[in-house]
Structure 1
Amino acid sequence: MKKVKIEELHRDHQPEAIRERLQQSPKSQNISDAVLGGIDGCVTTFAVVSGAVGAGFPAGVALILGFANLVADGFSMAISNYESNKAQQEYADSLRQMEEFHIDEVPDGEREEIRQIFRQKGFDGEILEAIVETLTDDKKLWVETMLTEEHGIHKTLTNPWVSAGVTFAAFVVIGTVPLLPFLMMSLPLSQQFFISAGLAALMFFLIGVLKSLVFGQPAIMAGLRTLLTGGAAAGLAYLTGYILREIVGVAGL
């Protein structure tokens, strides 16, 4: 959780500040899309590079495979994220239509659902009946309450297009970094791979740190966790390429 100054905390919880804040629409956040795209982009491209180097392929092959996977996998991941968020929105819309239909057809049954939901929260007697009367007096509020309390659907839904765009951008930008050393053709493959590994490790660490700053978590630990995750994936790719080279007998192209 982010640390805030006590004075700022008290100021944000004054009646007028609370009223203004609650009148605003809930804000969606795309940091998770950026983190997911960045990590997966870096893992994907460096894993391809590691596998190619482990298999004994020259730098040009590693570069071609890396960029090909960068574009194809980035697009695929963006589409998947779009479809996932779109499906979530469509599911929420279908539930909203269903609840509106139920309220029109069996209002007493829907009122009883509201009553039992809030009874489980500890309300009873006149207070419970006042809550039921207040919520069911406004159909829109009634429907939104049913969506939240019965189905667990919240108001904040991510825009599928924005989510897909953020994922693709993070995937391509971060995923390009481990490929940059292979553009320096004058360097031997071993140095190119060493620099690529260092850049990939830096990207993994910085992504973890960025995530920690947004969510107020310990920066060093978050960076190291992300670094270990990406390093493990790259290590497995390199090992797989090396083993297959030995089994198949490929000594490079």
Structure 2
Amino acid sequence: MDGIVTTFAVVAGAVGGNLGIKPILILGFSNLLADGFSMAVGDYLSSTTEESAVKAKAVKNAGATFMSFITFGLIPLLSYLLINVFSLFKIHTFLIACVLVSLALALLGLVKAIITGSSKKKEIFRTLLIGLIAALFAYYVGEGLGKLAGTR
């Protein structure tokens, strides 16, 4: 969930700051790759010990963390990447990003509910709420900073 929420928050903040598509993609991908690497290294460091078998597992865990982070973190950037492919994306870029992220968050909430045996509605709602609150927060911070910087 981290990948999609942090990347979407960066996109939302950039949109709030009224930045163009290129800065949104630059900030989005920079965040995505740096956070993915950071999460993978953190996973590796927390999993390592002196035994080589455990270290091999730690490397696999780190790789899985990185790939998961990147895969879900790409979702908020899809509408910006496909802006020249679909004309609708040019008009409603951020709205489409919001819809894609909401669908992915709902899916993550559903998977979490299935794995933990908890209420599907509750987990979907919680996952959506957390992700969207983070995005709203980032959007309004970006808007405020955009006003200070003169981009709004």
TM tier, smaller: 0.7 to 0.9
Shift of the alpha carbon at 1:250? 2.1
Please tell me whether the aligned partners of residues 8 and 76 of structure 2 are also in contact (alpha carbons under 8 angstroms): yes
What per-residue deviation string (whole Å, max 9, x for no partner) do you get for residues 196-221 of structure 1?
Answer: 01111111111111011112111121
Amino acid corresponding to residue 172 of structure 1 in structure 2: I
Please tell me whether the aligned partners of residues 50 and 241 of structure 1 are also in contact (alpha carbons under 8 angstroms): yes
The residue number in structure 2 matching 1:171 is: 69
User: Gaps (5+ residues) in structure 2?
Assistant: none
SS in 1 for 2:118: coil
Equivalent positions of 1:207-222 (< 5 A) are: 207-222=108-123
What per-residue deviation string (whole Å, max 9, x for no partner) do you get for residues 39-98 of structure 1?
Answer: 110011111110111001111211121112111110111101111122xx46xx8xxxxx
Amino acid corresponding to residue 202 of structure 1 in structure 2: L
The residue number in structure 2 matching 1:161 is: 59
Equivalent positions of 1:227-242 (< 5 A) are: 227-242=128-143
> How many residue pairs get matched?
145
Shift of the alpha carbon at 1:165? 1.6
Which structure is larger by alpha-carbon Rg, 1 or 2? 1
Please tell me whether the aligned partners of residues 80 and 89 of structure 2 are also in contact (alpha carbons under 8 angstroms): no
CA 1:224–1:215 in structure 2 vs 1: closer, same or farther (change >3 Å)? same
Shift of the alpha carbon at 1:248? 2.4
State how far apart, in whole Å, the 2-side matches of 1:241 and 1:205 are.
25
Instruction: Give the TM-score normalised by structure 1.
Output: 0.54
Amino acid corresponding to residue 40 of structure 1 in structure 2: D
Q: Percent identity?
A: 43
Shift of the alpha carbon at 1:188? 6.4
CA 1:204–1:211 in structure 2 vs 1: closer, same or farther (change >3 Å)? same
Amino acid corresponding to residue 179 of structure 1 in structure 2: L
CA 1:232–1:56 in structure 2 vs 1: closer, same or farther (change >3 Å)? same
User: Gaps (5+ residues) in structure 1?
Assistant: 1-38, 94-157
Shift of the alpha carbon at 1:162? 2.4
Shift of the alpha carbon at 1:189? 5.7
State how far apart, in whole Å, the 2-side matches of 1:165 and 1:207 are.
20
Amino acid corresponding to residue 64 of structure 2 in structure 1: V
Instruction: Give the TM-score normalised by structure 2.
Output: 0.87
* Greater helix content: 2
The residue number in structure 2 matching 1:138 is: none
Shift of the alpha carbon at 1:163? 1.9
SS in 2 for 1:217: coil
SS in 2 for 1:56: coil
Residue range with higher mean Cα deviation, 162-171 or 182-191: 182-191
State how far apart, in whole Å, the 2-side matches of 1:40 and 1:160 are.
19
- Aligned-residue RMSD, C-alpha: 1.9
Equivalent positions of 1:79-228 (< 5 A) are: 79-86=41-48, 89=49, 159-183=57-81, 184-185=83-84, 186-187=87-88, 191-228=92-129
Runs of 4+ in 1 over 6 A off after TM superposition: none
State how far apart, in whole Å, the 1-side matches of 2:30 and 2:125 are.
29
State how far apart, in whole Å, the 2-side matches of 1:250 and 1:162 are.
43
